[in-house]
A and B are shown apart, each in its own frame.
Chain A
Amino acid sequence: MPASTSLANLSPAEHLLDLYRMMARIRAFENAAEETSRGGVAVFGSTADTSALVRGPLHLSTGQEAVAAGVCANLDRSDYLTSTHRGHGHTLAKGANTSLMMCELFGRATGTNQGKGGSMHIADFSVGMLGANGVVAAGIPIAVGAAHSAKIRGSSAIVACFLGDGAINRGPFLGGHNWAKIFDLPVLFVCEDNRYSATTATDAMTAGDGAAARARSMALPAETVDGNDVLAVDQAARELVARIRAGGGPQFLHALTYRVKGHVSVDPAAYREQSEVDGALESDPLKLAALRLEALGVAAGRVAEIEAQARSEIEAALAAARAAPWPQAGAAYTDVQDTGAGQWH
């Protein structure tokens, strides 16, 4: 994805094709991750299949691609990003390499995290992606600190901080947003509202008027958008990012989307009606974007070509991950700490 500066020069159709390409790559990545993880996580009361290629909790962002693609289209490589436990899309959209990401999901030495993090802790500092996080809302103070650091160092970098709707009920949401405002920091908070906090509907667990209202209560300008409409996300993010770069301080984007899959890949999400899921699939972000491309007169063949490219990119990533070496056991002792290294007992 080109940086925000070059995007502005593209025709509307080419711009949307770029956004579509990113969403298609995320979708293909998520589908492949889901497929290769089957059996790899123990469903309650059962034992995990140890032969599965992707092990451990896998939180898929299938159906939420427009938020990652639309926001990150407005970031530069030198900007920072913090993510949630559902972070593949954000990582990919920030510019990470899909082969290195897949290697990480496979737990290989060549992964972004050298096999030490897996899906839930995926990170690529080389593109400013400061990490997914296994703890809800924990990325918020880290994002705020990165923005504070940029301000102190006189850097022009801004920070995009992704959080889920469940995160607004944790203390660091309050502490982090308050901090960003009082210190006037360059942070774009993006509440990616997929309506579920693990296996519970967030609405029933949230008092008051929700994420945007809470941000406004701390004097952060907040906008709510259809998070499945990639152009709407892109346009809102562009405006908010422009305000931040112009010194306008922290901004808040509330993107309404839907978690198509369960909380983790083994969760069948039996706690909700199929009709609810079916309804949500009607506004699938790729489907909406494809319709809009058609309306813009883009030939169907171009969309199909993008889909095919995305699939072949992810096939190559899978092949690379299958062939990649495991970490040596000795690597369990590296990157722990320098002071006292060797004193393991």
Chain B
Amino acid sequence: MALISYAQAACQALAEAMRSDPRVVALGEDVGRGGIFGQYQGLQQEFGAARVIDTPISEATIMGAAVGMALTGLRPVVEMRVADFALCAIDEIVNQAAKNRYMFGGQGRVPLVARLPIGIWSASAAQHSQSLEAWFAHIPGLVVVAPATPADNYELLAAAIDCDDPVIYMEHKELWGLGGEMPPQRTATLGKARVARPGTDLTLVTWSKLAHTAVAVAEQAAQQGISVEVIDLRTIWPWDRDMVLASAARTGRMLVAHEAVQAAGFGAEIAATVAEELGIPVKRIGAPRIPVGYARTLEDVARISAEKLLQELSRFVERHPHRQPAA
């Protein structure tokens, strides 16, 4: 089967949506040239500059205009370049897009997709490396998605464009070139996680790029006799409580790992829920609460490496051994 990259998968999903629905438009800086990561390659040639709209560097106006477009019959896909830049449009996301439907009593809907690429990327330092999914998960009205694979980027971007709620869509900047197989048919839906690797001794919940690290770590843990079930959450809000709780109830231990800063990260929400509901040992692994530094030695401190994840996982299992079943 032909491989497709994470960037190409998103491009294909958007192209198909634009072909089938004239209301779908894309707007943002440099999208006409294919986007800075190639995720809009060829779209302006196919759909024209009126629907694949190159914009000024005006994040607030890009996002606010998308709200106005969405309210009046279009389905805009908004490019913010990196999630860090979307902070220039935080009013438009939080106070406008997310609140519009509710505060106006359901008179309007805001079916927009805002693409906010996250993650540490190529020594880009403090202002181009953040993973801010927890910020948006905190805001009522928003859906938050973070795909890990090309197949999911294809399916979930299509689902996000179909969605009538505003969606914060967070691709990982180190995954653009990742190859993978396209799904034979669309099955992924918003709000549903996937089991990236089945296991019996421990549930490891993660998302985005770290899902790949987690699967590799699970293979290593298997050699130490620990069977890890890796759940790729895919949608951060609404998160798949049913799958996580069912898995954690079965394995009896839950670890959540994310690239974002650990303090007040979304892992805390998952860990707290699992502890409240199941009363089993839980643990969070996230970045220290420091900005991402430029030098490799500094950047590495902020990364969750496979070594670090395996070490923490092993320590967690040692601290919380399973009770022997009654004879």
Please list the residues of chain A having a beta carbon within 8 angstroms of any beta carbon in chain B. 80, 82, 111-117, 121, 123-126, 130-131, 133-135, 138, 140-150, 152-153, 171-172, 174-176, 178-179, 182, 334-340, 343
Contacts and interface: CB of A to CB of B under 8 A. Distances in A.
Nearest to B101: A335
Contact of A172 (B51, B56, B64, B104): B64
Nearest to A327: B105
Contacts of B104: 113, 116-117, 121, 123, 125, 131
A182 B163 CA distance: 30
Contact of A343 (B63, B100, B238): B238
Contacts of B55: 179
Contacts, number: 155
Contacts of B107: 112-113, 123-126
Contact of B65 (A111, A130, A142): A142
Number of chain B interface residues as a range:
35 or more
Nearest to B88: A171
Counting chain A CB atoms within 10 Å of each CB, the highest count among B65, B95, B100, B238 belongs to B65
Contact of A112 (B64, B65, B105): B105
A135 B143 contact: no
A114 B105 contact: yes
Contacts of A124: 107
Among B55, B102, B164, B237, residue most surrounded by chain A Cβ atoms (within 10 Å): B102
Given A123-B107, A152-B74, A141 B69 contact: no
Interface of B: 25, 50-51, 55-56, 58, 60-74, 76, 91-92, 95-96, 100-108, 140-143, 163-165, 167, 190-191, 237-238, 241
Given A141-B92, A142-B71, A337-B140, A172 B103 contact: no
B141 A172 contact: no
Contacts of A125: 71, 104, 107-108
Contacts of A153: 72-74
Interface-centre pick from A171, A178, A339, A340 (highest chain B CB count, 10 A): A339
A340 B191 contact: yes
A339 B163 contact: yes
Contacts of A149: 68-69, 72-74
Contact of B141 (A175, A336, A343): A336
Contacts of B165: 337-339
A160 B23 CA distance: 23
B67 to A, nearest CB: 5
Nearest to A146: B68
Contacts of A121: 103-104
19 contacts: A113-B103, A116-B104, A117-B103, A125-B104, A130-B71, A144-B61, A145-B68, A145-B69, A146-B68, A147-B68, A149-B74, A172-B61, A179-B58, A182-B56, A336-B140, A338-B164, A339-B190, A340-B191, A343-B241
A335 B105 contact: yes
A7 to B, nearest CB: 25
Q: Which 6 A-B pairs have the closest CB atoms?
A: A141-B64, A145-B68, A340-B238, A175-B61, A145-B65, A114-B105
Nearest to B102: A335
Contacts of A337: 101, 140-143, 165
A106 to B, nearest CB: 14
Contacts of A148: 65, 68-69
Nearest to A109: B105
A152 B101 CA distance: 23
Given A82-B68, A116-B102, A145-B69, 7 more contacts: A80-B72, A116-B103, A116-B105, A145-B71, A145-B72, A175-B56, A339-B143
